[in-house]
Amino acid sequence: MSDLQGGPSTGPGALFAIGGAEDKLKKRTVLQEFVEAAGGPKARIVVVPTASALGPDVIDVYRALFAALGAATVVGVRPENREDADDPAFLEPLSDATGIFMTGGNQLKLAGVVTGTAFGRAVTAAHARGAAVGGTSAGASILAEHMIAFGRSGATPRQRMSQLAGGLGLVQGAIVDQHFAQRNRYGRLLSLVAQSPGLLGIGIDEDTAAVFRGNHLEVVGRGAVTIFDGSRLTSNAHYAGRAEPILASGVVLHVLPSTSTFDLQARVLLSYGKQPPAAEIAEMEAAEADLRKLAKEIAAEGVSPKYYAERKRRAGRRTTKKSAAAGESRPEATEPITAGAELSHPDSPQADSGST
């Protein structure tokens, strides 16, 4: 999937919004995709654990994971406050990074430290020159221009169900939520879409990534990405009282499993399901042609060969006449013959059929 393999940049890098709890022990599909997008064996990844309440252990975990998945170098950079985030010593590792990964934790802390600082601008600049930028849980939410700082769970959208904070703005025109199905966050995301219908609501399940490349979103992992499109929404959000249910009528819902791709600008599904290799497609087409030929032979079984040849000759003659009239040259066509049908033809008496 990677457009960046340690070579010259051809534009902004991929964005990985991971719904949290990504597999770190078995297949590690989501993290493997991130390493490949960051350059594979040439990847230089910076881990940013600012949101995490854990100590150096969280850096050690991701350093071991990314190294095991083939990254060349992995370093940790942890600004704890806005003063750190404006310190050139914290910015230097980002200058040649091909991948930047922000861990989970307290999303309000992450936003308070990173957004609007030199560190946040350095992350944006790295992405613009081709680095893959990703985050899990809190690190996913901050990729958007508007991020959910905190909120309540529940299936029903309600007034004042959540609160927004400023994000990095790498994902435009959307709000990203995480741990989506596992923590029942449908209501809070839908409430935000009802309040701001121009924004797409993107909810990401655990061990799942929404991968943004330009205007396209691709789903990777074992869960799904849920999208709420409120372009034609009718809502009472402008006058609903505190904690009251919010009307959200006309929302378009997309639930996208792994391999689905979605056009964020047109807001339509582009494709889903894995496409087989070209050689396999050619083999399937050849097999299908053989089956069609066999079906014709089976259909003609028990019919006089002489009658079959005459039908084929007549069909060819009609096709030639039609082609000549249209001024075109078309391949010969053959009328289908149904096996077992009663035949009446002067050159093909009933006794010639050999069937009962």
Sheet of 162-166, strand order:
162-166, 144-151, 171-178, 200-204, 224-229, 252-257
Report DSSP state, residue 129: T
Catalytic residue among 22, 179, 218, 258: 179
Q: What is the residue type of 296?
A: K
Tokens 């200058």 correspond to: 95
Q: Which one is catalytic: 52, 137, 235, 348?
A: 137
Length of the chain: 356
Q: Indicate if 206 belongs to the active site.
A: yes
* Nearest-angstrom CA–CA distance, 96 and 44: 8
Query: 287 CB contacts (<8 Å, ≥6 apart)?
Result: none
Is 179 labeled as catalytic in the residue annotation?
A: yes
- The 8 Å CB, 24+ separation contacts for 153-157 are 153/183, 153/184, 153/185, 153/187, 153/188, 154/184, 154/186, 154/187, 154/188, 155/184, 155/186, 155/187, 156/187, 156/245, 157/187, 157/188, 157/190, 157/191, 157/194, 157/245, 157/246, 157/248
Spatial distance between the Cα atoms of 30 and 47, rounded to a whole number of angstroms: 16
* Distance from chain centroid for Cα 165: 26
Q: Give the CA count within 13 Å in the CB-facing half-sphere of 171.
A: 32
Using the 8-state DSSP alphabet, how is residue 40 labeled? G
Positions marked active-site: 137, 179, 206
